[in-house]
Structure formats: C-alpha cells, structure tokens
C-alpha cells in the first residue's frame, strides 16, 4: 500500500510539474498616441532634477571673488567652480552634486579650509 501511495504521489507531482513548465507565450502590442513619444522627449529636455551646490565665498567685490575662486581651485580641483552674481554679492559656488550625500561628502573636505561654507539648492531658471 505504501509503495502504491508513493508511486501515485510521485506521478501526480511529476504531472503537475510538467503542466506548469509549458507556459504560454504571447505577444503584446502597445497602441499609443504619437504625442506620448513627443512628451517623453520633451520631458528629457526639461531639467527637473535637484542639484546641490556649496557656497564657499561671497563679497561685493568681483576681484576678491575671482581671487577666492583661484585659491579654491589651487586647494581643490575635483569640482567645478563658478562665480555667480546675486545682488549685491558675487558668490563662489562649487560643484553640481546630484545627491545630498554627494554634497555632504564634498563639504566634509571643504569645511577644513572654508568654515563658513554652506550646502544649498539653487533655484532653477525656467527658460
């Protein structure tokens, strides 16, 4: 009796497995408006990503800001640096960090020389 029960059980399991291994295959066709492709391309062009930067210096004198930019580049040349005029100050901005973590790591190095440095997210121009 035990042998017959085991044989039936194994046969049933084998039959179930063979049925599940033969899955159906199909083809999916997506019919969508052509404007969707245009919108996707348009969205790629729009800069909606958050960007973090570090401000290391600000002053009303553009020459001092330029000197500070040069000083920064002598100390750290691994990030892009730019001078931005924001009424009434010229500001030295560093980096173009995609994540806050990336900006924090850079800030840990920069704080050794620039104690007043701050991390911020600049407002994006809507052109």
| Number of helices followed by number of strands (H, E) in the chain | 4, 4
Residue extents of the structural domains in the chain? 52-120
Spatial distance between the Cα atoms of 4 and 18, rounded to a whole number of angstroms:
21
Residues 71-120 have pLDDT tens digits of: 999 999 999 999 999 989 999 999 999 999 999 999 999 999 999 999 99
Spatial distance between the Cα atoms of 114 and 84, rounded to a whole number of angstroms:
18
Please determine, looking at this structure, whether the domain spanning 52-120 carries the CATH number 3.90.550.10: no
Residues 28-84 have pLDDT tens digits of: 888 888 888 777 777 766 655 689 999 999 999 999 999 999 999 999 999 999 999
């Amino acid at each position: 009796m035990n042998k017959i029960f085991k044989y039936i059980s194994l046969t049933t399991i084998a039959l179930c497995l063979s049925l599940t291994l033969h899955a159906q295959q199909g083809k999916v066709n997506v019919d969508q408006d052509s404007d969707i492709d245009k919108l996707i391309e348009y969205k790629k062009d729009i800069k909606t990503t958050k960007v973090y930067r570090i401000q290391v210096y600000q002053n009303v004198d553009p020459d001092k800001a330029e000197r500070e930019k040069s000083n920064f580049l002598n100390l750290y040349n691994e990030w892009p640096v730019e001078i931005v005029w924001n009424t009434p100050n010229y500001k030295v901005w560093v980096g173009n960090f995609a994540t806050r973590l990336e900006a924090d790591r850079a800030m840990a190095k920069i704080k050794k020389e620039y104690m007043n440095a701050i991390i911020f997210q600049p407002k994006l121009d809507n052109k």
